[in-house]
A and B are shown apart, each in its own frame.
Chain A
Amino acid sequence: NAGVTQTPKFRILKIGQSMTLQCTQDMNHNYMYWYRQDPGMGLKLIYYSVGAGITDKGEVPNGYNVSRSTTEDFPLRLELAAPSQTSVYFCASSSSFSGANVLTFGAGSRLTVL
Chain B
Amino acid sequence: TQLLEQSPQFLSIQEGENLTVYCNSSSVFSSLQWYRQEPGEGPVLLVTVVTGGEVKKLKRLTFQFGDARKDSSLHITAAQPGDTGLYLCAGVRNTGNQFYFGTGTSLTVIP
Contact = CB atoms under 8 A, between A and B. Distances in A.
The 9 lowest CB-CB distance pairs between A and B, nearest first, are A105-B42, A43-B101, A42-B101, A42-B103, A31-B97, A42-B104, A94-B97, A102-B45, A90-B42
B97 A42 contact: no
Contact of A108 (B40, B44, B97): B40
A101 interface: yes
Contacts of B45: 102-103
B9 A107 contact: no
A41 B103 contact: yes
A101 B48 contact: yes
A32 to B, nearest CB: 10
Contacts, number: 59
Nearest to B106: A40
Given A102-B33, A103-B45, A103-B90, A50 B103 contact: no
Interface of A: 4, 31, 33, 35, 40-45, 48, 50, 90, 92, 94, 96, 100-103, 105-108
B2 A96 contact: no
Contacts of B96: 50, 96
A85 B43 CA distance: 21
A50 B98 CA distance: 10
A108 to B, nearest CB: 6
B102 A42 contact: yes
Nearest to A96: B97
Interface string B89-111: 01010001111111110000000
